[in-house]
Structure 1
Amino acid sequence: MVCLHQYSTANLPHTQPGIPSASTAKSQLSALTVKASYDDGLYNRDKFPHWITISGACNTRETVLKRDGTNIVTDSSCYPTSGRWYSPYDGATWTVASDVDIDHMVPLKNAWISGANTWTTSKRSDFANDLSRPQLWAVTDNVNQAKSDQSPDQWKPSLTSFHCTYAKSWVAVKYAYGLSITSAEKSSLSSMLNTCSS
């Protein structure tokens, strides 16, 4: 793993689609259903078909790597052979695609236990490959693995300056898909939204 730590705003990735303003996110948060999560024990990642073909040879993962990176060069199968990726969760910059994971802002299992267990497979695929909302993020691989399926009351990005954007994005995705939140999750999201300047 070759990491180049750089923290200037010049390294911030392309702006994710669909991130609401803080005031909109607060309104959306207030509108979410608050209830205990329900784990029916039937979750399986395969129930969320992901990394589907988006365009030509490019799947969802490769599309996000191209979207969120800088100076990306790909081979004929769309795999990035060079480029740079800034991970907003921890402030690290990477130059090898294998060091970068595509994180689902709202993890697939978290979605399952907050309402996606009743969805069709088609809707779960839309959720897992959503490029029109702030759901997919190129981040440091082991940071993504540390987050796993945890909600914001259980895990937050180490870069506190990103907490505002993280909360706005999480809320926007849950709101768009009508997913519920727990009371602890709502409290944590509210606290993070209170760090927003706009």
Structure 2
Amino acid sequence: MITTLRRTATAVALAVLPLTLTAQTVHAAAPEETAPLGVAVGLLPVSDESREGYARTKFRHWNAGLDLRDGCNTRAEVLISEAMAAPAVGPGCALSGGEWSSYYDVQHVVGAAGLDIDHMVPLAEAWDSGASVWSAARREAYANDQAAPQSLVAVTAKTNRSKGDKDPSDWLPPAASALCRYAVEWTSTKLRWGLAADQEEQRRLYQLAAGCGEEVVAWTPAP
């Protein structure tokens, strides 16, 4: 929760920095929506998935980030915002020191080298679930989404690489304490971006929801 609040506060602070407005129409942010986990899982459209045409390069990820002045890309900004003890930021946004907690496997990590930034819903899974029809700009926005703290998560490289591009029917975090949070954040990310689930994925999410008590999913539809 502390990390979520920190990430949200950072995004809000950066949003009020002076900006040069273009002629584009400025739209008000969509209101946050909430639902109990089991109900939220039922809101996911169910569809068969196809990876035809996928390439990771179709999602421009780790762009210049929220603050164009800090010299840090999205990956580095997420590491900084999720740190339990802040790393030192050197020239070129080189990070040294710092401490993190990887909730997938309940590991305390010292130094950013042992971490990956996980796309909660992997890029390939997003493609399978609806992103194949998006514009390049929307795929870039998805791949660098810091407006929703659950979209990008600092976790141990080992768990991120074990997960790969799998959905919850094929992979779940090894720590039992992580399962309900993971189900909430996966479902929230899919609802935020209007992504579908396949039948096995939805079935597994329902199974998780049955053991997660009063967990609530919150999401704000992406612009």
Residues 46 and 196 in structure 2, CA contact (< 8 A), matched pair in contact too:
yes
Residues 151 and 185 in structure 2, CA contact (< 8 A), matched pair in contact too:
yes
Residue in 1 that maps onto 2:218: none
Residues 38 and 210 in structure 2, CA contact (< 8 A), matched pair in contact too:
no
Q: Tell me how far apart the structure 1 counterparts of residues 74 and 173 of structure 2 sit (CA, whole Å).
A: 23
Residues 57 and 78 in structure 1, CA contact (< 8 A), matched pair in contact too:
yes
Residues 61 and 140 in structure 2, CA contact (< 8 A), matched pair in contact too:
yes
Question: What displacement does 1:21 show?
Answer: 6.3
Structure 2 length as normaliser, TM-score?
0.77
Q: Tell me how far apart the structure 1 counterparts of residues 153 and 40 of structure 2 sit (CA, whole Å).
A: 21
Closer, same or farther in 2 for the Cα pair 1:80/1:13, shift >3 Å? farther
Q: Does structure 1 residue 44 correspond to structure 2 residue 62?
A: no
Find the partner of 2:79 among 65, 72, 79. 65
Tell me, what secondary structure is at the counterpart of 1:103? strand
Q: Deviations over 1:59-101 (max 9, x none)?
A: 1100110111122221132222011111000011111211100
Query: Aligned letter for 1:36?
Result: D
Aligned residues: 185
Residues 81 and 97 in structure 1, CA contact (< 8 A), matched pair in contact too:
yes
Residue in 2 that maps onto 1:14: 3
Question: What displacement does 1:196 show?
Answer: 2.1
Q: CA RMSD for the aligned pairs?
A: 2.0
Q: Does structure 1 residue 161 correspond to structure 2 residue 177?
A: yes
Find the partner of 1:87 among 102, 107, 119. 102
Structure 1 length as normaliser, TM-score?
0.87
Find the partner of 1:195 among 199, 208, 211. 211
Please list, as runs of the form range in 1=range in 2, the aligned pairs for 1:175-190 lying within 5 A after superposition.
Answer: 175-190=191-206
Query: Aligned letter for 1:35?
Result: S
Query: Aligned letter for 1:64?
Result: V
Residues 35 and 183 in structure 1, CA contact (< 8 A), matched pair in contact too:
yes
Q: Tell me how far apart the structure 1 counterparts of residues 208 and 135 of structure 2 sit (CA, whole Å).
A: 32
> Rg larger in 1 or in 2?
2
Find the partner of 2:186 among 167, 170, 180. 170
Q: Does structure 1 residue 77 correspond to structure 2 residue 77?
A: no
Residue in 2 that maps onto 1:5: none
Residues 115 and 179 in structure 1, CA contact (< 8 A), matched pair in contact too:
yes
Find the partner of 2:38 among 17, 26, 34. 26
Q: Tell me how far apart the structure 2 counterparts of residues 79 and 166 of structure 1 sit (CA, whole Å).
A: 30
Residues 71 and 92 in structure 2, CA contact (< 8 A), matched pair in contact too:
yes
Q: Which runs of 4+ in 1 moved over 6 A?
A: 16-22
Residues 85 and 100 in structure 2, CA contact (< 8 A), matched pair in contact too:
no
Question: What displacement does 1:51 show?
Answer: 0.6
Residue in 2 that maps onto 1:4: none
Residues 74 and 82 in structure 1, CA contact (< 8 A), matched pair in contact too:
no
Moved more, 84-93 or 14-23: 14-23
* Larger fraction in strand: 1
Q: Does structure 1 residue 126 correspond to structure 2 residue 137?
A: no
Residues 64 and 71 in structure 2, CA contact (< 8 A), matched pair in contact too:
yes
